Chain A
């Protein structure tokens, strides 16, 4: 199946998985940081929201690496588009367009609601796919296994409900 992005053929899963492992291990080996993206959103929040939770040491002390890492993720997506056929703004959303077919306003509302759940949920869980699913599982941490099973199961139920029951 081609990607939504310029109908590109995806990397082989083994290549992508090995690449992610290299990034994870490089971060740990060079700077002793555990990979994780979702805490970085707290660093962004801390720039504008002055709640005590965002002022804790783990946030104040990690701006220097989490913010550039987050910026790099945006840059990586940008370069991927540029090198893969050119960067252009798009509303294309694959099977959402063919099966559900909402326009831009509906997509924005749908995505905002989903984003709320991601932001609140990952911080309540203490990690996301990278922090729990990759680093935590690789470090054999039980809370990460519990979280990973929880979000994989909830995602499977939701997608099956949307695409096999509702539409």
Chain B
């Protein structure tokens, strides 16, 4: 199965690379409201994924016959404050998490620094979960903030 995930990731990465979703200028153009491209991409993806998920839930099984289980994410204060921090980081780098990896693959050298920052940031978060849990009303440590 590892090959299946590798292929899915590769297709995803190729699309992000060639669509502008992993391109600094297109991200700034989106946030400046000057480029429609990223709004079109995300809007189309949601408009097609939503009915797909609905149909799969009705079907209730995976294609291999196992039960389809979608765990919904918990709501907490981290949704807002984490979202804000991430938005600032997305603007600064011109990359969200997928495109950080795509840019590394493309050979953009500065993306290595972004990736190092992402991993250090995630490590700091994980190591301070117990401290952050109370002020941000986070779910128990075993649950986490949401798998995404």
Contacts and interface: CB of A to CB of B under 8 A. Distances in A.
Contact of B17 (A1, A62, A80, A148): A80
B82 A163 contact: no
A21 B126 contact: no
B146 A126 contact: yes
B9 A71 contact: yes
A129 B53 CA distance: 17
Q: Binding site of A, secondary structure by majority: helix, strand, loop or mixed?
A: helix
Contact of A16 (B41, B56, B86): B41
Contacts of B1: 31, 64-65
B73 A144 contact: yes
B91 to A, nearest CB: 4
Interface string B83-100: 111111111111111101
B72 A32 contact: no
Given A18-B48, A80-B14, A148-B83, A91 B26 contact: no
B114 A114 contact: yes
Given A115-B93, A121-B85, A163 B28 contact: yes
A118 B53 contact: no
Contacts of A15: 19
Interface in B7-31: 7-31
Interface in A109-162: 109-144, 146-160, 162
Contact of A128 (B5, B48, B86, B88): B86
Given A65-B5, A127-B73, A94 B121 contact: no
Contacts of A136: 73, 148
A68 B50 contact: no
B87 A57 contact: no
A164 B105 CA distance: 31
Interface of A: 1, 3-5, 8, 10-11, 13-21, 23-32, 34, 36-42, 44-45, 49, 51-54, 56-58, 62, 64-66, 68-81, 84, 87-96, 104, 107-144, 146-160, 162-164
13 contacts: A16-B19, A17-B41, A20-B15, A24-B52, A28-B52, A32-B67, A51-B123, A53-B129, A76-B105, A87-B106, A93-B24, A116-B89, A125-B82
Given A56-B143, A70-B101, 11 more contacts: A23-B12, A31-B4, A51-B123, A64-B1, A68-B9, A69-B9, A117-B89, A122-B86, A126-B73, A137-B46, A143-B75
